[in-house]
Amino acid sequence: MHHDRIVSLDSIYGAEEGPSFMTGIQALVRLPMMQRRLDRRNGLNTAGLVTGYRGSPLGAYDQQLWKASKYLDAHDIVFQPGLNEDLAATALWGAQMHRAFGRTRADGVFGIWYGKGNGVDRTGDVFRNANVLGTAPLGGVLAIGGDDHAAQSSMFPHQTDGIFQSVMMPVIQPATVGEILSLGLAGFALSRFSGLWVAMKTIAEVVESAASFELPDSYPRFISPAEAVPAHGLNWDPRVAWPAQRTELERRMIEERLPAVTAWARANEIDRPVLQGGGRRLCVVTVGKAHQDVMQALANLGIDEGGARAIGLSVYKVAMSWPLDSASLLAFADGFEEILVVEEKRPVVEEQVKVALFNRSGARPRVTGKTDAEGRALLPQTLEFDPLMVARAIVGRLPGTADLAARLAAIEARVPTGEVVPFPARKPFFCSGCPHNSSTKTPEGSIAGGGIGCHVMAVSQPKLKTATFSQMGGEGLQWVGAAPFSETGHIFQNLGDGTYQHSGLLAIRAAVAAKANITFKILYNDAVAMTGGQPAEGAIDPARISRQLAAEGVGQIHLVSDDPDRWRAAPDLAEGVTIAHRDDLDRVQRRLREVPGVTAIIYEQTCAAEKRRRRKRGEFPDPDKRIFINPRVCEGCGDCSVQSNCIAVEPLETGFGRKRRINQSSCNKDFSCIKGFCPSFVEVEGAVLRKPDGERLKAFEASRFAALPEPERPARDGVANIYVAGIGGLGVLTIGALLGTAAHLDGRGATVLDFTGLAQKNGAVVSQVRIAPPGVPIHAVRIGAGEIDVLLGTDMVVAAGQDVLRRIAADRSVLVLNDDETPTADVVTDRDFALPGAAMADTLTRRARATHRLRATSIAEGLFGNNVAANTLLLGHAWQKGLIPLDAEAVRGAIRANGAAVSLNLRAFDWGRLAAIDLALVEEMAGLAAPAPQTETIDALAARLAAELTAYQDARYAARFAALVAAARRAAAGLGREGEDFAEAVARNAYRLMAYKDEYEVARLHADPAFAATLGEQFSDRRRLSVYLAPPLLSRIDPATGRPRKRRFGPWIFTAFRLLARMKGLRGSWADPFGHSHERRTERQLIEDYVALVGELAADLSPATLPIATELARLPDAIRGYGPVKAAAIAEAEARKATLLEALAESRRPSEARAAA
């Protein structure tokens, strides 16, 4: 490890030379500090202002600016987040003309505006006005536009070039993290010289990547071409009168400033050749990120400087894409046969090149790019492209180069061309305990409109009935336009608190003015979770919102909260605000949809992710309780998921079928799941999650870790591509950051590219890491098709996704996979959804050179008490297998530099190493039992279930079950595997019906010592147990839901359970106090009906009737739940039964007809 290399905020923001490792966002934070230091070196008294509005790929910029506040303060740089993008730009406009407001403490204020592409769109008017008036000579403005070419985190793909061009702002495009710094300083200099704001276009592959690189010159000297400056100057001129001389301002813009821009660019050689061939055959012009794609394509094709000279190929890199310094480009390209312009999205540079050449006399090169010379499509104008696309274009423009064509064919041969694998995707979903799980629900018969924020995910959940979405600040206005023509009388409109403060209040004002019938649901979550949990600007709160709404003329206003009591006495709420608990949301919505005009619900509940963060810091109440589901009482009906919409309620496979469990690691203690109509929910107060035996593990680690051997690592002279694939929020990006940092500490080059978007909410997240030996360049930061060397599959679903599979090569890729399954969001809406884990693992294994699998999540939970370090454990496993080209001490240094759970992650790294040597030993130390057998013989199944029914009732009751199963087996004899399936279906479903969970059985299962043992496995200590029940004789009907209300019963209920369990002999008798209810009589009748059905099916079982007979035998599996849930399931099952019986009769007719003949 290179001990002179450190990674810290001091090194990122303080170092002036040498190697550095930072993200593109951190480079943007460092940039104004470099400008201030440059000004100080030049004796200038300046200050800086950074303002804008967050949004991917610049979503974390404000967070990093806050983290760097002490460094910014030391450089006299003010960070002032904007309320929205255009107001922020207006503030920068004012900073450029600060002298107009009187005496000033600085001679000039340089500024940075930032916003994603959508923010660039909405800020055009401010850009135009501010740019026409101009910048100060010692000021200057960079407008950082965050483009999302592939809509990774946006409603639609976008490209900001045209917006900046229309407001006449020069556009610079950094291709690397390092160029953000060098081109950023150039941009400030250009802005000061020309009087224009300068746009810097950034995309995720640059600004959201990280890289190790040599810091650029901190004190560059830029040339100001005096001949381009008119006598009155180019900057803001207070002597120009407005409005009398407004046309003069336009003239100066067009005739003086823009020509000055290209003169400055030419003088400072902003655009430059990077590769010069010996001949004049093909000049490749690159722009921004596309430059790295071109250089990677050339490297993949084996074209170095010598090869380029041999084939007559040159590369010219354009850093300022508009206005193009066409004179310099054409001077370089003079005599070439063809110019190939490589730029993403719509053509900007290509069109300028064509215009510059159009009237040129003499020989002119062909210009290709988006199309070839014949107008055929060449490079795409949509989404993104990669080095392989570029390589195809280059080789195609060089006919007659057989060796290049052969190299290209070899590259393409390594790209997987297998079938599209229809595995389920890991879709983004609300966090466990997310307020939007409840707040976005809509009453039966109503629809809602979506908006910008995490709650937009409601659009993809049909049960939430969210039909539309709009731009930020347009929420509700689509309905204003549609309402006069719609037979729908009213809608609900979701509006996040961040959007409300950004621009949403204006939409409410417009709806009031239009007298629309609409209820705005303002989702106050106390954090802008979509971009990282930042506070909404302006420190708004529900009380202030209520007063604003009342002042705007909103009619009825309701405040719905998970803690309504704290608002009942609030003195600053608007007069007349009605307060309700969030459980009453449905009732409130039903009432408001009948009220004419604009009404509002302020739904107040803190963001679940922010709750977790604050609880870790001790800044938010942490209820001293947990919810536990008794799996034997659970019916697997999924109603708890329906009521809570919570992803922490997971499937649990048991010998009695699929049940539900609470994932205690991910649960954020929202407790909405207890609304599920089910008596299985147990509240555990004073719950302490069981932790492993620390002393035992500590002693083991001390004896084993020091003796871990160094692995054999094959020598590598090229770039190593490591792809980390997993679930958002579970540390995937941390592994990428650790690898990048470790590579930097190890003296190697590295890039890291993260892809998140909405995926950070339980969706797919990947981190692409490229590590190079010293002196070996890394071009493209994205790992291409067939280029993965090592895949760390922290989640099998993401690893088996099509986007990952196409990057795996059978002769190259080694996979390290987490064998533990994490449910996808599908289980929330489909109770029986099951991941095809074996098929996914098999597909990955078949496509790779080698595969290593381990149950990383289970091992981490067994060793550390949670799954936080599972990914680090997987990394240690890969390292010990010799797959990670880094020194172990560099990895440990990166873990220490990261600063999060250092001891835990250091231990996990070494446990992963040991697992690579002796997996069985590690599993034993983690307390992992051997995997349960996948199959159970019919004899064993029948015997086990009969024993259960004996405990349920008595031996005679179990004997009836055994006789029914035996009859089914006799009927199925000789029908092969399908016949056994029929018999198994009868056994499982007869048991399900016969073991119906009445009051006696629920009591028995809760009082069973086995349940206490199960609790003990999860919790090492507990103070008090309570159970949520809805006893039929004690529970009132909830008018909002039509269901009996559940109540919490304290510890005494377990004494009652034990007494009630002993009374099971009364079951079904005249003395059974519960047995006369409609539900119990129906359950007993279902048993009789099923016995009769099985007898009928067995009497005429044949290959023709067997498929339908088996489906009929399985029907009771759909009858799950309690009370109203079970009643609805019975009705559906009976309807399905009638259909199947008709089909069964149809299948019998041909055989009967043949018999009659």
CATH number of the domain that 64 lies in? 3.40.50.970
Q: Is residue 303 part of a domain?
A: yes
857 shares a domain with 990 = no
CA-based nearest residue to 819, from 840, 850, 849:
840
Q: What is the largest CA-CA distance in the chain?
A: 112
Please, which pLDDT band fits residue 386 given cuts at 50, 70 and 90?
Answer: very high
Rounded to 5 degrees, what are φ and ψ at 45? Answer: -95, 90
Location of structure tokens 């997996």: 919
Asked whether residue 291 carries a pLDDT value surpassing 60, the answer given is yes
* CA angle (967, 971, 975) in 5-degree steps: 140
Q: What residues have CB less than 8 Å from 1052, skipping those under 6 apart?
A: none
1026 and 1133, same domain (yes or no):
no
Mean pLDDT of 225-245: 92
Tokens 């003796």: give the residue: 707
Which tokens hold the place of 717?
């002279």
Over residues 21-66, the pLDDT tens digits come to: 999 999 999 999 999 999 999 999 999 999 999 999 999 999 999 9
Distance, in Å, from the CA atom of 825 to the CA atom of 763, rounded to the nearest integer, reads 9
pLDDT band of 746, cuts 50, 70, 90: very high
- Expressed as residue numbers, the domain containing 763 is 717-899+916-925
pLDDT value for 1157: 46
- Pairwise CA distance, residues 470 & 273, whole Å: 44
pLDDT in tens, 72-104: 999 999 999 999 999 999 999 999 998 889 889
740 with 679, same domain? no
Residues 728, 855 within the same domain: yes
Q: Under DSSP, is residue 591 helix (H, G, I), strand (E, B) or coil?
A: helix
Beta strands in 691-748 (DSSP E): 720-727
Q: Is residue 532 part of a domain?
A: no
| CATH code for the domain of 733 | 3.40.920.10
Long-range contacts of 1083-1086 (CB under 8 A, 24+ apart): 1083/993, 1083/996, 1083/998, 1084/996, 1086/993, 1086/996, 1086/1116, 1086/1119, 1086/1130
Q: Is 1032 domain-assigned?
A: yes
**453-471, pLDDT tens digit by residue?**
888 888 888 888 888 889 9
What would the two tokens of residue 768 be?
């692409």
> Is it the case that residue 265 has pLDDT exceeding 80?
yes
CA angle 968, 971, 977 (to 5 degrees): 85
Number of domains in the chain: 6
Distance CA 424, CA 439 (A): 27
What's the pLDDT band for 728 if we cut at 50, 70, 90? confident
pTM over 0.85: yes
**In this predicted model, what pLDDT tens digit does every residue of 654-668 receive, in sequence order?**
999 999 999 998 899
Q: Is residue 455 part of a domain?
A: yes
Kindly state whether residue 1025 falls inside one of the protein's structural domains.
Answer: yes
Residues 1024-1054 have pLDDT tens digits of 999 999 998 788 898 878 899 999 999 999 9
pLDDT digit string, tens, across residues 888-902? 999 999 999 999 899
Please give the pLDDT value at position 418.
Answer: 60
461 and 565, same domain (yes or no): yes
Confidence of residue 264 (pLDDT cuts 50, 70, 90): very high
Domain boundary among 183, 206, 221: 221
- pLDDT for 362: 83
Q: Which two tokens stand for residue 950?
A: 């004996």
Do 886 and 812 fall into the same domain?
A: yes
- The residue among 585, 606, 627 that closes a domain is 606
Half-sphere exposure of 898 (CA within 13 A, CB side): 25
Asked if pLDDT for residue 1092 goes beyond 90, the answer is: yes
Residues 176 and 131 in one domain: yes
Report residue 642's pLDDT band, with 50, 70 and 90 as the boundaries.
very high
Task: State the pairing for strand pair 19-23/209-214.
Answer: antiparallel
The answer on 138 and 56 residing in a single domain is yes
Whether residue 698 is contained in a domain is answered as no
Q: Residue 510: pLDDT above 60? A: yes
Type of residue found at 467 = A
Of the candidates 55, 35, 59, 56, the residue with the CA atom closest to the CA atom of residue 47: 35
Whether residue 425 is contained in a domain is answered as no
Of the three residues 364, 382, 413, the one that is the final residue of a domain is 413
Q: Are residues 281 and 146 in the same domain?
A: no
3-state secondary structure of 659: strand
Q: What is the mean pLDDT of the chain?
A: 93
* SS3 labels along 249-309: HHHHHHHHHHHHHHHHHHHCCCCEEEECCCCCCEEEEEECHHHHHHHHHHHHCCCCHHHHH
Q: How confident is the model at residue 951 (pLDDT cuts 50, 70, 90)?
A: very high
Clarify whether residues 599 and 729 are in a common domain.
no
Q: With 70 as the cut, is the pLDDT of residue 531 above it? A: no
Give me the mean pLDDT over the 154-173 stretch: 94
Q: What is the pLDDT of residue 530?
A: 65
Q: Comparing C-alpha atoms, which of 864, 908, 912, 906 is closest to residue 884?
A: 912
Query: Does one domain contain both 336 and 206?
Result: no
Q: Strand 790-793 and strand 720-727: pairing?
A: parallel
Look at residue 1150 in the predicted model and tell me its pLDDT: 61
The answer on pLDDT for 419 being more than 70 is no
Instruction: Answer yes or no: is 930 within a domain.
Output: no
* Co-location of 470 and 546 in the same domain: yes
